[in-house]
Amino acid sequence: MNLLEIMQNRRSVRTYTGEKIPKEKLDQILQAGLLSPSGRNRKPWEFIVVQERETLEKLSHCRVGAAKMLENAGCAIVVFANPEKTDVWVEDSSIVMSNMHLMADALGLGSCWIQGRLREAENGESTEDYCRQLLNVRGSMFWKQFFP
Ligand SMILES: Cc1cc2nc3c(=O)[nH]c(=O)nc-3n(C[C@H](O)[C@H](O)[C@H](O)COP(=O)(O)O)c2cc1C
């Protein structure tokens, strides 16, 4: 399939098998994210790959009504960005998310964007604070994406 065909067939997938993602495919998805363009080439992003079942289950509570599918995901890639590196971190991180989503699709893996920034966790905390605490992150947290 060429790129346009991949884009035509891509869909957000929210039902997962829970199978572990083969390392080779995971590496390609991460590479697709890391190769993304960024304003002034600042690359303000950091990724956390979550594969532990218990942590994935806890992550599934990071949003009210929008992240439940995570309990069955094989993997989550949490995308963080540092606003001190650039004022276009939102744009930069969105490109990263989009590229990883397309790469996953091209590899036959379902994935879905879960919005973290400006959203609330089930326990009433901001999604950002919830994930920051769960994953022991000190910088700023913005988006998440998940794979079966
Ligand atoms: C910025 C953004 C935030 C999104 N947040 C969520 C989310 O929190 N949970 C979710 O299940 N889907 C989320 N999605 C997926 C959209 O709902 C989905 O892309 C849209 O409905 C179009 O469907 P498609 O991706 O299958 O074409 C998000 C997508 C984007 C681009």
| Digit-coded pLDDT (tens) for 12-63 | 999 999 999 999 999 999 999 999 999 999 999 999 999 999 999 999 999 9
Report pLDDT digits (tens) over 62-72.
999 999 999 99
Q: Whose CA is closest to 76, among 130, 11, 36, 131? A: 131
Q: Is the CB of 138 under 6 A from ligand 1?
A: no
What atom of ligand 1 comes closest to residue 67's alpha carbon?
Answer: 9
Cα 10 to ligand 1 centroid, rounded to whole Å: 12
**What span, in angstroms and rounded, lies between the C-alpha atoms of 94 and 72?**
24
Token pair 């699709």 is found at: 105
Find out whether the beta carbon of 98 lies less than 6 Å from any atom of ligand 1: no
pLDDT at 142: 60
Can you tell me which atom of ligand 1 is nearest the CA of 11? 26
Task: Share the mean pLDDT of the chain.
Answer: 92
| Ligand 1 atom at minimum distance from 63 CA | 8
Report how many helices (DSSP H) and strands (DSSP E) the chain contains, helices first.
5, 4
Mutate which of 69, 71, 115, 119 for ligand 1? The one with the most ligand atoms within 8 Å of its CB, which is: 115
- Which among 47, 44, 16 is positioned nearest to 31, based on CA atoms? 47
Instruction: Express the helix, strand and coil content of the chain in percent, nearest 5 each.
Output: 40, 20, 40
What per-residue confidence (pLDDT) applies to 124? 98
Average pLDDT of the segment spanning 134-141: 78
Q: Where are the domains of the chain?
A: 22-147
Please report which confidence band the pLDDT of residue 138 belongs to, taking 50, 70 and 90 as the band edges: confident
pLDDT digits (tens, 9 = 90+) for 62-110: 999 999 999 999 999 999 998 889 999 999 999 999 999 999 999 999 9
Would the pLDDT of 145 be above 70? no
Evaluate whether the domain defined by 22-147 bears CATH number 3.30.70.140: no
Asked whether residue 141 carries a pLDDT value surpassing 60, the answer given is: no
